[in-house]
Structure 1
Amino acid sequence: MQNDAGKIVYKRTISIMEIQYLHSLLFLPNRNYSLGPFLMKVAFPVSNLPNVLFSEPMNASSQGMAKGGAHHESSVKVPRSLASASVRRYQSFSFSESSHRLVFGVETNFNVGREGRGREEKLRYACDSVLDWRDYFDHHTLPLSRRNPGRWPNFPSDYRQVVAKYSDELQVLAHKLLGLISESLGLKSRCIEDAVGDFYQNITISYYPPCPQPELTLGLQAHSDMGAITLLIQDDVGGLQVLKDGAKWVTVKPISHAILVLLADQTEIITNGKYKSCEHRAITNSNRARLSVATFHDPAKTVKISPAPDLLAETSPPKYKGLVYGDYVSSWYTKGPGGKRNLDALMLDS
C-alpha cells in the first residue's frame, strides 16, 4: 500500500500488514462461527414489503428487527434491475484505475459532512488508533439541497442518474419501514418519521480490497449506525457480521436482490429500546475484493431526539436521555465507535 497525494492506492502484491491496520487481539474476528440456515431464518427474516404493510402489527419481520435490529427486505418497491444496476455502476468505479478514483477525493466539513472518495480516518478504539481495511466513496443525496451530482463519478456514463434514482427509491422504502415500526408499537404511522424529520441521506460505497492477513484486521470496526435506519446491499462475497444476543458474531449471508435493513441508534432511542439498533462489523478475506453499498437515513444535526412520549408511562419510564443529534454525531467521531458505547452512555438508571 502506498500513499499518492494523500490518498490510499491499493496494490495486490501486499504481503505484510502495516501496523496502523492491526487490531487488538480482543477485537479480532472469530471465523469459527457462521450463521446457519435456522438462525438465518430467525435473525434475518426475508419479507416482502407490500405484504408486510398489510399484515398484523407484530409480524415476524418486526419481531426480527426488534430483537436484533436487522432483517433482509426483498421489496418489489425497489426494482431488482435498479439494485443490480447500482451495484454494477459502483463496481465499475471501485475497480477502475486508481488515477480515476483519486479525482474524487473526500472533503470533510462538520456542518455538511464528508463527501467523495477516501479512506477511514483513525478512530480511537480501546486506547488504540487503528485504520479499517477499506476504501469508500460517500455521496450526499438528500435533502436535494445537498445533492450535487457534479461531485460524483461520471463513469460509467449513467452513474449519476442511477445513483439519484436509487436514492429516491430507497427514501420511499425507509419511510415505509419506519411507518411499519411505528404501527407495530401502536403509534401513529408517522410517529418515528416526524421525530426524525426530513432525511439526511448519504449513500456510501465501501470497497474492501483483498487483505494479506485478514485474521489481524477488520474491514470495518464494530459499531451501530448513528442515524435512524440504514439500507444495505452487498455483492456475493460476503463479510458483514452482526452481533447476536450480545454474545456471538454471526456472518450475514448475502441474498441476491435483497436489501438488508439495519436499525440505527436514533430509532432505538425513539422507541425507548423496544427496537434495538444493530451492532455490526465487516471482516476481510485474502482472495477476493468485496463491495457493499449502505444508504444512511439520519436526522438533521439540529433535531433533538428523545423517546416517543406515547410510549412513556409511570410503569414505562424513559430509558434514554434526549439530546441534539449533532451532539451525538460529534461524540461518536470524538470517541470512536466502540460497539454501542455512545448509545449506552445515554441510558438512564432504571
Structure 2
Amino acid sequence: MAMESVQSIAERSCGSIPSCFVRPECERPGLAHDAFFQESFPVIDISGLGEGSERERAEIVRRIGAACTDWGFFHVTNHGVPLQLMDGMRRAAEIFFERPMCEKLQFSTPPGEMAAEGFANRMLTRDDQVLDWRDYLNHHAHPIWRRNSSNWPHEQSYRQMIEEYSAQVLALSRQLLAAISESLGLGSKFIEDAIGEPFQNIVMNYYPPCPQPDLTLGLQSHSDFGAITLLMEDHVGGLQVRKNGRWFAVKPVPGAFIANLGDQVEVLSNGRYKSVEHRVVVNSTNKRMAIAAFYDPSKNTRISPAPELIDEQNPRLYGEVLFRDHVSDFYSKGPEGKRNLDSIAIIRQ
C-alpha cells in the first residue's frame, strides 16, 4: 500500500481526523501550542565560550549546567551559525514539502525500516501504533558513508546547503557537549570521547494544520535517545516540555537553537542531568516547520556512567547501554515517555 502523507490527509479533511491519529484520552494535549508559560525558560548567550575571558566562559558553563539540572533544555543564542544559512534551511524545507506528492514519494523510506533515510511519516515500526500528525524528511548527514544520495533531493544547491548546515551544527553540538562536560567537573572532551564518532541525522519536520488538534499530537511524548539535539523552529510554537509532572509550552526565540539532552548524557552523568520528556502539539490554523539535528553514538557504542561521578554518596544509577539495543527498543516498542531509559536504571532497595 502506497504511503499517504499527513499533509495530503489534512488537505482533504472534512473536519475530522482518521482514527489512527486519535490518541488515548490520557495522552491528549491539555495545553495549546501557544499557551506559553511565564516561568523563565533558560536562554543562554554562548558567544563567550569561544572568545570570551576565562571568567565569562566559566559563567556560561555554570549557566549551562544549571539549565541541564533544572530543565534538560535551553535556548542557545549567539551560537555562530549564520542566520542566512538557517533561513536557507527553512526555505529548503518549505520548498520540499510544497512539492507534489508524487515527487516526495521518490524519496520515501522502505516501510517498517527504523530510522531510514528519506521521506516518511511513521516513527515506530509497530503496526498498531497511533500515528503522529507529522511528515518528515530524514538525512543521514555524518559520517559521510551513511548518506544515500538517492534519498536526498537532487538539486546541487540543496545538497550543498544540507552539508554546510550539518557541519555547522555538528561543531556547535561539540562546543555545547564540551561545556556540559566541564559543568560536570569532567574534562571538556569527556562526553565527545565517550560518544565516539557521532552519527548525525538532520530531520525536517512538517506539521500540517489539524482539524482536531485536541485529539492528536504532532510528535508523541518521548526523550531523545542520543546525546544532544539542536532544534531550529519557526515562529508558530508547538514544542512542549514536561517538568515536575506539568507540560510547558516553549516560546520560540528568533535566531536561536533549542538544545536538549538525550538519554546517553543522562547515563554518562549518572543521572545528574536528565533527558526530559517532550512532545509537539498541533493547531487548526497554522502549519509548523522544525529542523532537528541529532548527535548520537554509533550503534555499537557502549555507554556507562562516568566513574568520576560515582562514590558512596552518589551510587551508580545505570548499567551499561549498548546503543543499538536502546534504539531498537525505542522504535519497536515505543518511547512511552522515558520507559526505555527507566528500564536500564539500577533499582535500589
Same fold (TM over 0.5): yes
Give the aligned CA root-mean-square deviation in angstroms: 2.1
Note if 1:64 corresponds to 2:67. Answer: yes
How far is the alpha carbon of 1:48 from its aligned partner? Answer: 2.1
Which sits farther off after the overlay, 100-109 or 203-212?
100-109
How far apart, CA to CA, are the structure 1 residues paired with 2:59 and 2:289? 35
Match runs of 1:19-168 below 5 Å: 19-31=19-31, 34-37=35-38, 39=39, 41=40, 43=41, 45-52=42-49, 54-56=57-59, 59-107=62-110, 113-121=115-123, 129-155=129-155, 158-168=157-167
Where does structure 2 lack aligned partners over 5 or more consecutive residues?
51-56
Q: SS of 1:107's equivalent?
A: coil
The amino acid of 1:56's aligned partner reads E
Q: SS of 1:193's equivalent?
A: helix
How far apart, CA to CA, are the structure 2 residues paired with 1:179 and 1:107? 37
Are the equivalent residues in 2 in contact too, given 1:108–1:115 (CA < 8 A)?
A: no
% identity of equivalent residues = 40
Q: SS of 1:56's equivalent?
A: helix
Cα deviation 1:21-52 (Å, max 9, x = unaligned): 11011010012693334x1x3x3x22222324
Aligned to 2:54: none
Q: SS of 2:248's equivalent?
A: strand
Where does structure 1 lack aligned partners over 5 or more consecutive residues?
none
Which sits farther off after the overlay, 23-32 or 57-66?
57-66
How far apart, CA to CA, are the structure 2 residues paired with 1:224 and 1:323? 16
How far apart, CA to CA, are the structure 1 residues paired with 2:122 and 2:336? 15
How far is the alpha carbon of 1:114 from its aligned partner? Answer: 0.5
Aligned to 2:258: 260
Matched residues, number = 338
Q: TM-score, normalised by structure 1?
A: 0.91
How far is the alpha carbon of 1:238 from its aligned partner? Answer: 1.1
Cα deviation 1:50-88 (Å, max 9, x = unaligned): 324612375223211222110001134211111111111
- Larger proportion of strand: 1
Are the equivalent residues in 2 in contact too, given 1:52–1:61 (CA < 8 A)?
A: no
How far apart, CA to CA, are the structure 2 residues paired with 1:145 and 1:334? 25
Q: TM-score, normalised by structure 2?
A: 0.91
Aligned to 1:183: 182
Match runs of 1:235-250 below 5 Å: 235-245=234-244, 247-250=245-248
How far is the alpha carbon of 1:278 from its aligned partner? Answer: 2.0
Cα deviation 1:241-264 (Å, max 9, x = unaligned): 11022x111111111110000110
Are the equivalent residues in 1 in contact too, given 2:35–2:249 (CA < 8 A)?
A: yes
Which sits farther off after the overlay, 221-230 or 90-99?
90-99
How far is the alpha carbon of 1:275 from its aligned partner? Answer: 1.0
Are the equivalent residues in 1 in contact too, given 2:237–2:288 (CA < 8 A)?
A: yes
The amino acid of 1:6's aligned partner reads M
1:276 pairs with 274, 278, 291, which one?
Answer: 274
The amino acid of 2:26's aligned partner reads L
How far apart, CA to CA, are the structure 2 residues paired with 1:99 and 1:191? 46
The amino acid of 2:346's aligned partner reads L
